Amino acid sequence: MKKSILLPVVALGLLVSTQTINAQDATAEVTATETVAQDEMVVVSIEELPEPVKTALAKDYEGMTIAEAHATKDGSKYKLILTKEGSEGTTVLCDAEGNWITE
């Protein structure tokens, strides 16, 4: 009698653990896809930055200079690497209207 109860319990345990592993794999694939989509930025020159971005930068990050500028292909988001003499670079994100984006 004990063996007939034990077999279905073991089978159920194996089934549940297999489903959990498959769910974790699916989550990892979605995260990897989102990361690739975010990284699709191209280098742009500082002159190509929209005026609202330059204005927000001058107001909120006074004394810092742009070392590198990157933009999404559609120009909706910008990643700026800022430097100040004697310090390491700081990375900030903003939209085309000069609003800062936090992640």
CA dist 19 → 12, 15, 16, 22 (Å): 11, 6, 5, 5
pTM above 0.85, yes or no: no
pLDDT of residue 58 exceeding 50, the answer is yes
35: pLDDT confidence band, cut at 50, 70 and 90? very low
57: pLDDT confidence band, cut at 50, 70 and 90? very high
